[in-house]
């Protein structure tokens, strides 16, 4: 019998061959978040990935090593160690630069998009008719909504006359609110249109329409059924939340506190957009007690958001327009017994840019020519992940206030990031948002950001506004 194994015949085919060159890589999975989650490698063609390596000999202090798409959805570069990578993804309307700074040679990331797979523009002049039999006669106070999960559009429907048992309305498709922030996209068989009835903030009636392929003149019809609600309770700590906000600088006002429960197809991915099931505020200083029903589970799980937020206002003299800046702590979890929403992520309290603590508004820095180090402190020492966002402050369309324009998002395992100097434009106003994340990424110790879990806590602080001056 002949053996095909060269080593068993004394022939070592690997002798004399050079070892494969080391590589460092970043893989990106795109997840289309519609009525269901669809994963696929993200095509990186036409996008850029560049590893940034500190090098004092370089004019900008950074050696830049270009990454190439080694296979669909994976950038690779000939490096023998982990390094931060600056890259972009196909955000709408234009790519937003990102930095991943993880101590792993191979990192796996996720690009979540509110969409169904292969979206197409909606038919020009499309009209929608909603026709439903109500589960109970209209009481004169309930409100109604059409929500299309997948194209992510919704519209408040005009209630019928008191005592009516049917609701019918026709409207232009483009009059619906587009939650994904893109032009309206065609409804397909992958989407789910639901008609909802609310008493106050509680979902009490609903129907799911049969799937449809939008043609331009389409009717969404069905019979509404009552939604059975169940009580729920979760623990909070209002006093502790208020105390934590007093420590941040720049100082912010007293926080607002509220909660929502939504039927969210992307709940596991920390995306709770979907039909509202219930909403409200604290019941006592330490407890929230309410009720909700979910006729769309388990595919769209009941996802609880406990949200606290505070703000401050500032008017930069150079712009003479006001801007509102924020601090926040929130937590998401799947609704269930025994929940404690104690806002586990550390709240950033101070943000430092180039050795300057941005604890007041109005700081001026010279436009940098070398790498820019940003660090921040948090009131919880150890967190799962840290993030940093750089916002340029620009006038809104009405020239009445300054608004945020995202210039960079960075992610890493330490509250310290090094930013390329070209991100900062002379004469421009900026703020930095420091973010801490607790939980949510069970594979982060292996460089895997694709695996996700709940609960997850997120806390953030906007730095003092600063002006970049010419050198």
Q: What is the pLDDT of residue 142?
A: 98
What is the pLDDT at residue 23? 86
CA 362 to chain centre: 29
User: Residue 352: which of 210, 249, 229 has the closest Cα?
Assistant: 249
What are the φ/ψ torsions at residue 445 (nearest 5 degrees)? -65, -15
Tell me the two tokens of residue 375. Answer: 């660090």
Contact criterion met (CB below 8 Å) for 211 and 150: no
Instruction: Please name the CATH architecture into which domain 24-114 falls.
Output: Sandwich (2.60)
CB of 73 closer than 8 Å to CB of 64: no
- Here the tokens at position 388 are 């940093």
- What distance in Å separates the CA atoms of residue 289 and residue 66, rounded to the nearest whole number? 53
Please report where in the chains the tokens 């200083």 appear, as a residue.
285
In angstroms, the CA 300 to CA 265 distance is 4
Instruction: For residue 146, list its beta bridge partners.
Output: 155, 195
Q: How far apart are CA 156 and CA 169, in angstroms?
A: 11
Q: Distance between CA 348 and CA 436 in Å, rounded?
A: 7
- What does pTM read for this prediction? 0.93
Q: CA–CA separation, 399 vs 415, rounded Å?
A: 35
Q: How far apart are CA 380 and CA 435, in angstroms?
A: 12
The helix/strand count (H/E) of the chain reads as: 1, 35
User: Contact 125/174 with Cβ under 8 angstroms?
Assistant: no
Would you state the structure tokens that stand for residue 368, as one six-digit string?
Answer: 């940098």
How far apart are the C-alpha atoms of 145 and 12, rounded to whole Å? 71
Cβ atoms of 97 and 407 closer than 8 Å:
yes
- Terminal Cα-to-Cα distance of the chain (whole angstroms): 79
Q: What is the pLDDT of residue 318?
A: 94
Equal CATH topology for 24-114 and 127-226: yes
**pLDDT tens per residue across all 471 residues of the chain:** 333 333 333 334 445 565 555 689 999 999 999 999 999 999 999 999 999 999 989 988 999 999 999 999 999 999 999 999 999 999 999 999 999 999 999 999 999 999 999 999 999 999 999 999 999 999 999 999 999 999 999 999 999 999 999 999 999 999 999 999 999 999 999 999 999 999 999 999 999 999 999 999 999 999 999 999 999 999 999 999 999 999 999 999 999 999 999 999 999 999 999 999 999 999 999 999 999 999 998 999 999 999 999 999 999 999 999 999 999 999 999 999 999 999 999 999 999 999 999 999 999 999 999 999 999 999 999 999 999 999 999 999 999 999 999 999 999 999 999 999 999 999 999 999 999 999 999 999 999 999 999 999 999 999 999 999 999
State how far the Cα of 295 lies from the Cα of 301, in Å rounded to an integer. 10
Question: Residues 335-345, buried b or exposed e (16+ Cβ, 10 A)?
Answer: beeebebbbbb
In angstroms, the Cα distances linking 329 to 255, 388, 431 are 10, 15, 18
pLDDT number for residue 20: 57
Instruction: Tell me if 245 sits within 8 A of 347, measured CB to CB.
Output: yes
- Return d(Cα 345, Cα 240) in angstroms, integer: 13
Q: Where do the structural domains in the chain lie, given as residue ranges?
A: 24-114, 127-226, 231-469
- Beta-bridge partners for 291: 231
Length of the chain: 471
Strands, E assignment, 35-81: 37-41, 49-54, 62-66, 68-71, 74-77
Q: Is 348 exposed, middle or buried (0-12, 13-18, 19+ CB in 10 A)?
A: buried
Question: Which residues have a Cβ under 8 Å from the Cβ of 426 and sit 6 or more positions away?
Answer: 367, 468, 469, 470, 471
pLDDT of amino acid 21: 58
Distances (CA, A) of 321 to 324, 375, 429: 10, 28, 12
In this prediction, residue 443 carries a pLDDT of: 98
Determine the Cα–Cα distance for residues 205 and 152; give it in Å rounded to an integer: 20
Assign a CATH topology to domain 127-226: Immunoglobulin-like (2.60.40)
Give dist(CA 279, CA 269) in Å, integer. 21
């Amino acid at each position: 019998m002949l053996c095909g194994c060269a080593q068993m015949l004394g022939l070592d085919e690997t002798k004399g061959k050079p070892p494969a060159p080391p590589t460092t890589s970043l893989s990106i999975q795109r997840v289309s978040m519609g009525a269901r989650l669809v994963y696929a490698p993200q095509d990186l063609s036409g996008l850029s990935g560049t590893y940034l390596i500190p090098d004092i000999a370089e004019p900008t202090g950074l050696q830049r090593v270009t990454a190439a798409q080694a296979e669909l959805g994976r950038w690779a570069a000939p490096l023998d160690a982990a390094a931060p990578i600056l890259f972009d993804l196909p955000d709408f309307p234009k790519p937003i630069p990102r930095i991943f700074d993880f101590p792993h040679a191979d990192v796996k990331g996720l690009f979540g998009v509110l969409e169904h797979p292969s979206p197409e523009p909606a038919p020009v002049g499309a009209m929608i008719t909603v026709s439903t039999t109500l589960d109970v006669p209209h009481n004169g106070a309930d409100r109604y909504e059409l929500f299309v999960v997948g194209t992510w559009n919704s519209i408040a429907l005009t209630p019928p006359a008191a005592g009516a048992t049917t609701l019918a309305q026709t409207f232009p498709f483009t009059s619906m609110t587009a939650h994904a922030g893109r032009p309206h996209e065609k409804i397909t068989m992958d989407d789910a249109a639901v008609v909802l009835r609310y008493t106050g903030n509680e979902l009490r009636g609903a129907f799911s329409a049969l799937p449809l392929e939008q043609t331009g003149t389409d009717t969404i019809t069905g019979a509404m059924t009552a939604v059975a609600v169940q009580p729920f309770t979760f623990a909070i700590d209002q006093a502790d939340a208020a105390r934590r906000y007093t420590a941040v600088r720049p100082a912010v006002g007293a926080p607002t506190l509220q909660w929502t429960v939504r039927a969210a197809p992307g709940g596991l991915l920390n995306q709770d957009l979907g039909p509202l099931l219930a909403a409200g505020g604290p019941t006592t200083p330490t407890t929230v007690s309410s009720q909700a029903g979910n006729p769309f589970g388990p595919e769209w799980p009941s996802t609880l958001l406990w949200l606290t937020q505070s703000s401050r206002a500032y008017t930069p003299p150079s712009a003479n327009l006001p801007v509102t800046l924020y601090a926040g702590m929130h937590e998401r979890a799947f609704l269930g017994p025994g929940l404690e929403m104690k806002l586990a992520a550390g709240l950033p309290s101070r943000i430092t840019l180039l050795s300057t603590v941005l604890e007041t508004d109005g700081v001026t820095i010279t436009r940098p020519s070398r790498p820019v180090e940003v660090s921040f402190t948090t009131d919880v020492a150890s967190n799962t992940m840290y993030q940093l966002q750089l916002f340029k402050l620009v006038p809104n369309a009405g020239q009445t206030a300054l608004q945020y324009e995202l210039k960079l998002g960075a992610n890493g395992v330490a509250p310290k990031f090094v930013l390329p100097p070209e991100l900062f434009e002379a004469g421009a106003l900026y703020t930095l948002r420091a973010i801490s994340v607790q939980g949510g990424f069970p594979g982060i110790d292996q460089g895997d950001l694709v695996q996700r879990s709940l609960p997850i806590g997120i806390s953030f602080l906007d730095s003092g506004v600063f002006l970049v001056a010419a050198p």
